[in-house]
Amino acid sequence: LPKLGILGSGSGSNCQSIHDAIRSGALKAEIAVVMSDNPDAYILERARSWGVPAEVIDCAGFKTKFPEESQEAVAARLKEYGVDCVCLAGFMRLVKSPLLQAFPSRIVNIHPSLLPAFPGLHAWEQAVHAGAEESGCTVHYVDGGMDTGPILGQARVPVLPGDTPESLHARIQVEEHRLYPAMIARVLETLE
Ligand code: GAR
């Protein structure tokens, strides 16, 4: 089975959807390791509860930067676990060359907007504040830019009157949890 390495900084609901898709047989893969830059992230607890190795990424005290040494260490660790495909699931640091070089065309991300609209932080809030009538989510290959890289797939949701950033994000997340496992399955097919 192809091995996934999942990187996340937060609650890990997308990681959960990947785990669920594997359990149901819809996604033929295994999660080899979950890594987080945030030692308190719930994503790590989820992994532990499944018996999946959960590791903290040392970012040398940097709050938002992902230092090159840390990326090298993460790449080495992912290789040790035999990871074939790296899935960013709510990972809030910019992945750059040490990791990209180690996993060319093998790192994917999910972003909560219809890229190229609303890259960056709090995309759901950006959509509400911009008065967008529609938003959604995008799965794309990671290329070192901020939410750039070739798009694998998107799902759309309406922005409804009275939506708050939170209510829109909740609607987007329902679609994320469907889209991401399906797009990962497609990426894995290309690696076979
Ligand atoms: C998700 O909505 C994901 O698309 C977003 O963070 C959330 C993480 O939720 N990612 C980004 O904004 C990356 N730019 P989760 O931890 O429950 O999967």
Average pLDDT over residues 65-73: 96
Q: Which two tokens stand for residue 136?
A: 């959604």
Which ligand 1 atom minimizes the distance to the CA of 111?
4
CA angle centred on 2, ends 44 and 105, rounded to 5°: 90
Distance of CA 107 to the CA centre of its chain: 9
Catalytic residue, candidates 19, 111, 169, 177: 111
Say how many Å lie between the CA of residue 115 and the centre of ligand 1: 14
Query: What pLDDT band is residue 192 in, cutting at 50, 70 and 90?
Result: confident
ipTM strictly over 0.85? yes
pLDDT digits (tens, 9 = 90+) for 137-191: 999 999 999 999 999 999 999 999 999 999 999 999 999 999 999 999 999 999 9
Tell me whether residue 111 is one of the annotated catalytic residues.
Answer: yes
Say how many Å lie between the CA of residue 2 and the centre of ligand 1: 23
pLDDT at site 7? 98
Query: What pLDDT band is residue 74 in, cutting at 50, 70 and 90?
Result: very high
Tokens 């290309």, residue?
Answer: 190
Element (H, E) at 138: strand 134-141
Closest C-alpha among 33, 24, 30 to residue 2: 30
Say how many Å lie between the CA of residue 72 and the centre of ligand 1: 23
Query: What pLDDT band is residue 102 in, cutting at 50, 70 and 90?
Result: very high
